[in-house]
A and B are shown apart, each in its own frame.
Chain A
Amino acid sequence: MGRTTTTALEKLAAQMRTDWDRRVGHDYRFWMGEGHLDDAQIWKTGEQDLATVVEGMQGTSSCTALEIGCGVGRLLKSASSRFAKVIGFDVSRLAVDKARQLLGPNPSIELVVGSGVSLDPVESSSVDFVWSFGALASMPVPVIASYLAEIKRVLRASGSARLQVYLGQELLVHESDTLHLRSFTRENFAKAVALAGLKVTRCDEQTIADDGTADLGIVNCLISIAQTDEPASNVEAVAQALLPAGESTEVNPAALEAWMALNYAEMLADEGNANKARQAVEYVFTHCQSATVDTKDLLERVLAKSDAIEKKETRETSASDDERIFLRNVEVLKERFPVVYERVLATKDAISRDISVKHSKDGPTLWSGSTCLDHAEKPQAAAEAWVRRSLQESRFAGAKHILIVGFGGGYHVEAALKQTITPVSCAEADVALFTAALKARDLRDALTRVQSLLVGDEVSHASLGGNAELLIRPQVAVLDSRFIERAKSSTYSKRGLSQLHPKIAVLGPLQGGTLPIAQYTTAALQRIGQRVRGIDVSGFNDGYMLFEKFLVGEPRRLLMRSQYCEVISNTILEALAEKPVDILICMAQAPITAKALTELRNRGVVTVLWFVEDYLRFTYWRHMAKYYDFVFTIQKGECLEQIRAAGAGEVHYLPTACDPMFHQPLKLSGDEKARWGSPISFVGAGYHNRQQMFASMAQYPFRIWGSEWPTGRPFDRLVQDDSRRVSPEEYIKVFNATDINLNLHSSSERDGVDPSGDFINPRTFELAGCGAFQLCDERSLLPELFEVGKEIITFSNMSELRQKIDHYRTHPEERSAVCEAARARVIKEHTYEHRLEQMLSTIYASKYEMLRQREQSSPWAEMIRRADGDTELKERCERAYARGEEPALDGLIADIVTGQGKLSETEQKLLFMHHVRSQIIRMTREESGLKK
């Protein structure tokens, strides 16, 4: 026997997967359910067989058990009531999917699509009992050897295994055969078990009447196996011991499969189930073309019976061709994708629109209006060429799953299934189009083999396991670009969060209320593990304000301020050239020019504006929106439309939030409470509506904090600290020390509460985060963020405000209940972490591929690739990268601290490099200085 390399082993496993997926796709009950015609019998025989496997075993209720080759879970259902936990392994994805469907939710059953050669990810020494029944005997010998080694690994020291195999005469089977029974001599089997570091403790012979094994000189045995202290030899040695002569090169693997399928077909035909009989025959035609003439008679018999039934059916139903094709297709659909089946049936007669089917020499093609969804003349060849070309893209190299967006006539789905062993799924938005395809072509093979099928408007990423690479049909981009957006969003947004590591810069404004939001944004990005760099330009504000002192005329001030901002913008541009970023998030009022944004976009930077201002009051977005790939706003409706119309790439709603690390309940001293507290407070600037409303509140114990308030009566007694701007650190003390915080959104035009007010100011979330009680004016967007009446109390006019103040002043327990509920809500849904995750999900939905390519070609990626042979260096590179360091030596050594324990060799080498550089630079400087 030749040495079985890892690659050879993987090939065998791939063969097993292909074969068993095919068989399960055809008929799981026949191939994996012991030939039974309904599911009840599967469980019944499963229970009987499990009883044989565990016979004599006691005290298993707290044990973990594992089955190798669990198929559709025939024995697992019964096993789950005997063991605390059962793990079912099968190489066939379709079998495991089916098992999930059949077994339903069961916390004590874990199903794993195995690699076919190992029991990863099961931890070593974690399993009490391993069994395999009706599975090992048809596996290639190297695979059996590999599983023996894995049993040794996963079993606890006290663990045991029972394996059903055939012993006696050696039966030689072709290595790629996954159906014929293999048999080994008793001595060789015991020797192989011993080489795997295990020992045979018992051998129970199973007598099954008329199973034919006796004629072959083999016995069906259930072998009991225990752990030993001996280490396992390598897999090649175990395989060699098991079958020293190696496997046969002669037996035709397809013969048995064809023979079994045709027998099954004959049985079905005899039962009058022509459809299933035909499927079995077609299965043989499609998959067992290399079957020998042994099956010829049988085939002819089945075809004759099947034809007879079909003629009868045709006479009876007089159905048209396309109806017949449709019925065949939906039968598979019903079996595999019942949700899609229901959806198709519900709309099957409602096909109208301009969908048509035309015929080419390759087969029927599907048309939507004037757009052909396949190639008009050579749909099959064109689909194959397109798939081949597409799969050459690097992103498909390691893909675990491919999602084809757009079903069309199904040609490209068939081509993909033919060209790759990667699981293929398909999404089609238009049920009518899909139904037309089901009528036009026999798609049973494709429907049998696709992993998932999503038909209809929803594209659920979760149902695809979250790891699909999209293969988008160009026609879909024309017909339904929104569907592609949704497909990308559901596929890439979450994956982007976990797999992409772009460097993100947050650019704040020079001053104002958005400045702290920039800081919260930066902090939140850090907390969600992003590589972030805050660009704080607030230091430039002093200079900006100086123009007011030096220049009287507004035009001159404006001109100089504009030039000053140009300098700041250029400085930012240079800073981002020195330390490049992938995404730039500009907060509202960030001092960056159109020229700088254009330059950054040319450099491949994704530009984002978080416009946390009222779009009607601050209108500079009109000429700036087009320089941003994404604009996020705190308003909906018209706002989104107008900013979109102004040329922004994408526009989305994203309200502000609170920073739970900052906006939180504080323990204040008595002095602090006296300094900052009051029965009623308001923090904010003195906008028109606030002045107008609060002027009538002088009779209340009321304090106002913030700038731009009048100095005259009654405000002279209400406004604190000479109407200076209070810092965030100060105003959270006010929030915490106040019984009732008023929150009146600003308006420069309306009196009191603005009846058309929509957006929610940051103060709303911040007060809630602090666990402080607030009375907030009614806003149209508030109810979707807080439950009004429970989590937040609102007012719509002055009299309601007075009434609620009076009520809540005397009901502190009600205030507490609201505060608690509001705080719980913001912690759950309205933190900056939530917002930034949302923002990044949106960005990744459409920029995932671009950002990933950028990441893969980044200097860090190259460094990490180069460091691959040195584990510690690689990890250090990855850590530095995750911290957001630049790809330079300083970034790599930033977290090395001398005197904090033993330095590793890698650390010493890097420090060496650092010292060399410092010393040589220093020497060069000194020498050039002293030469003079």
Chain B
Amino acid sequence: MKKRYPHKTRVLLVNITRLGDMLQATPTIAGIKMENPDCHITVLVEKQFAEVCKVIPNIDEIVGIDLNFVVRSISREKDGIIDAYEYMTEMVESLRGKKFDYCLNMSSSGYTALLLNLIGIKRNGGWTSDEEGYRVIESDWARLFATSVFHQNRQYNSLNLVDVFRASADVDIHPRNLLINVEQPSLDHCETLIHEAQFTNTGPLIAIQAGASQGKRQWNPKQFVTLITNLIEKHNARVVLTGAAKEKPIIDPIVEGCASRNVVSVAGKTSVPQLAAMLKMSDVLVTGDTGPMHISVAVGTPVVSMFLASAYGFETGPYSEGNLVLQPVIGCGPCNPNKPCSKPDCHDTISPELVAHLAISRAKGDVFEVASHLADPRGVVVYRSTFDEFGFIDLVPINGQPQDPCARHRVAYRKLWLEDLGGFPVQYTPKTSGLAVVDHGLEGLSQIGECAIHGQKLMDTLVQLVKDNRTTSGQLKSSNEEIAELDRRIEELGFNYGHFGALTRMFIFAKENLQGSDAVDLASQMKSIYCDLERRCQKFAVFYAGA
């Protein structure tokens, strides 16, 4: 794998706000340690997560930043602003004193970027900012991360963000699952909870995480009742409903609806380490795209996960071998994470019976196939998670071939990025090659490629103009305007032909991250960006043809 900074000694990982994000970073953290055994790793997290982060292995130091204090102080206005400022000054000084030689910030927030510039870490793999306050993304993989989560491009991406994050940090060798420590006291606590439940069934212990972070991702509680009833009555299962105390308004009606001794709620009764223990003791977890899903994967318990609404299995699916992912096939999915939905039709594509079947099957062992009469691939695709030859996780459909118009692009993009950014020897069987391919799926590609070639010529002209001392400012202005117009055209092509949005977005990010002020050097950097675009267009056509 191509690496920018293979050697690291003092690493700062910025992962400020969410436990799920932190869990998804565990293969990267472990990988850094595996490749740099003497490396010291510090994570910077929001203060309230600092305690929870202690369950994450391979971290040498956790620094908590109290953002709530900052916001509270600012809201107080007046001298509260000075309080916040003084706190920030102390925090920056303290972090500077730790003399990090590498930083990985995968939060795209403006404040983390500014913070890193203040700390002044020279080498980094994620977001930072330049001295004028603009956000900077130096690494191609980090740009791909930003490109992939750009909503228009999401459905064309098949690289899990865990892997993109890992590649941003140049980590090749890595564990093939997420990681979390489970301690015996937590296991004892859960043992007691299960004992107290006094289940009458003796079958598999199935954990169900009914709550979700967003209303539109929340499967109807009635469906859960049907599912649980099915599991208890038909499969002798014991069911544990997990969740936080705040999720009780969802969970309690489910328990009441089931009216069975074989279902118990532990919502609000488990800390994060205890939840991990409970999931470890379970045979399978049924869940949406949630934090508990990642914990379950980390403790080695397989999951059956429903990726509803904005959730997208390829992007944030369970990171270990053999999990089952249900992705509804619906014109509007995956939808925009930032928009609500008043009519979540995607929920109806998944039946409780199917979920019960998958849960029981997975509790018994690995599942490689699902009969299409149980799960019609036109309504929902059931995927099995697996790793490819380069150690990147992928999803393979197991209920027949989906009629997914994006599937071929996904395959082509996956190969393109692994080959172009990672330097992996991607195998393909070309059916045809080159830009001459006439295919609806390639519409727009040749135009983008032509723009890229034209851009290179403009750069050659620009260099000549800069070097020639007879050049007038008017000529330079005219040249710059032509370049700006071309870039605008490339961006528009990306919008017009959405399936190439990722190519043009990568181009835009690269142009936004030009560094330096020497005109000839800048022109050289820009030419290289047009070259990248042209090369990627050509490669995409080849991989698409072979997909």
Task: Give the interface of A toward B (CB within 8 A).
Answer: 859, 862-863, 866-867, 870, 873, 886-889, 892, 896, 898-903, 905, 907-913, 915-921, 923, 926-927, 929-932
Contacts and interface: CB of A to CB of B under 8 A. Distances in A.
Contacts of B117: 908
Contact of B81 (A889, A905, A923): A889
Contact of B114 (A859, A886, A889, A908): A908
Given A902-B131, A903-B132, A930-B216, A911 B114 contact: yes
B77 A889 contact: yes
B70 A911 contact: no
Contacts of B89: 870, 909
Contacts of B85: 867, 870, 873, 909-910, 913
B79 interface: yes
A868 to B, nearest CB: 10
A887 B84 CA distance: 14
13 contacts: A867-B82, A888-B74, A889-B74, A892-B81, A898-B133, A901-B132, A912-B114, A915-B114, A920-B68, A927-B214, A930-B214, A930-B216, A930-B340
Contacts of B520: none
Nearest to A865: B79
Interface string B69-92: 011001101110110110011001
A918 B74 CA distance: 11
B81 A862 contact: no
Report, nearest first, the 3 A-B pairs whose CB atoms are least far apart: A898-B133, A859-B78, A915-B111
Contact of B110 (A892, A907, A915): A915
A900, A902, A903, A905 — most chain B CB neighbours (10 Å): A903
A919 B340 CA distance: 19
Contacts of A910: 85
A887 B77 contact: yes
A902 B89 CA distance: 19
Contact of A863 (B74, B78, B88, B132): B78
B70 A916 contact: yes
A916 B79 contact: no
B78 A887 contact: yes
Interface in B102-139: 109-111, 114-115, 117-118, 131-134
B391 interface: no
Nearest to A931: B215
B215 A909 contact: no
A95 B82 CA distance: 47
Given A888-B81, A903-B133, A930-B215, A909 B71 contact: no
A867 B134 CA distance: 27
A578 B71 CA distance: 20
Nearest to A873: B85
Given A908-B133, A909-B89, A863 B81 contact: yes
B411 interface: no
Contact of A932 (B71, B75, B215): B215
A730 to B, nearest CB: 39
B79 A862 contact: yes
B133 A916 contact: no
Contact of B78 (A862, A903, A912): A862
B382 to A, nearest CB: 27
A913 B88 contact: yes
A902 B340 contact: no
Interface in B323-353: 338, 340
B508 to A, nearest CB: 17
A863 to B, nearest CB: 6
Contacts of B84: 913
B173 interface: no
Interface in B12-71: 17, 67-68, 70-71
Contacts of B68: 920
Contacts of B118: 905, 908-909, 912
A916 B46 CA distance: 11
Contacts of B109: 915, 919
B133 A899 contact: yes
A923 B114 CA distance: 19
A932 B249 CA distance: 13
Query: Looking at chain B, what size class is its interface with the partner chain?
Result: 20 to 34
Contacts of A898: 132-134
Contacts of A923: 17
A713 B333 CA distance: 76
B132 A866 contact: no
Contacts of B78: 859, 862-863, 887-888
A899 B79 CA distance: 29
Given A902-B131, A927-B214, 20 more contacts: A866-B79, A870-B85, A886-B77, A887-B78, A888-B77, A888-B78, A888-B81, A898-B133, A899-B133, A909-B88, A911-B110, A912-B88, A912-B118, A913-B84, A915-B110, A920-B67, A920-B71, A930-B216, A930-B338, A932-B215
A898, A902, A929, A930 — most chain B CB neighbours (10 Å): A930
B17 to A, nearest CB: 8
A886 B78 CA distance: 9
A873 B79 CA distance: 12
Contacts of A892: 81
A929 B110 CA distance: 22
Contacts of A903: 131-133
A915 B132 CA distance: 15
A903 B133 CA distance: 6
A690 to B, nearest CB: 53
Given A859-B78, A909-B88, A917 B70 contact: yes
B77, B213, B215 — most chain A CB neighbours (10 Å): B77
Contact of B111 (A863, A901, A919): A919
A897 to B, nearest CB: 9
A299 to B, nearest CB: 63
B75, B81, B115, B215 — most chain A CB neighbours (10 Å): B81
B111 A902 contact: no
A932 B340 contact: yes
Nearest to A926: B338
B485 to A, nearest CB: 21
Contacts of A908: 114, 117-118, 133
Nearest to A921: B71
Nearest to A888: B77
Contacts of A926: 338
Contacts of A888: 74, 77-78, 81
Contact of A899 (B17, B81, B132): B132
A862 B340 CA distance: 44
A577 to B, nearest CB: 14
Given A866-B79, A912-B115, A919 B110 contact: yes
Contacts of A909: 85, 88-89, 92, 118
A907 B114 CA distance: 10
Contacts of A911: 110, 114, 133
A878 B269 CA distance: 53
Contacts of A887: 77-78, 81
B132 to A, nearest CB: 5
B418 to A, nearest CB: 33
A929 B340 contact: yes
Contacts of A901: 132
Nearest to B218: A931
A920 B89 CA distance: 20
Nearest to A924: B71
Contacts of A859: 77-79
Nearest to B132: A899
Nearest to A907: B133
Contacts of A932: 215, 340
Interface in B465-489: none
Contacts of B88: 909, 912-913
Contacts of A929: 340
Interface string B132-149: 111000000000000000
Contacts of A907: 133
A913 B72 CA distance: 11
Given A908-B114, A911-B114, A917 B132 contact: no
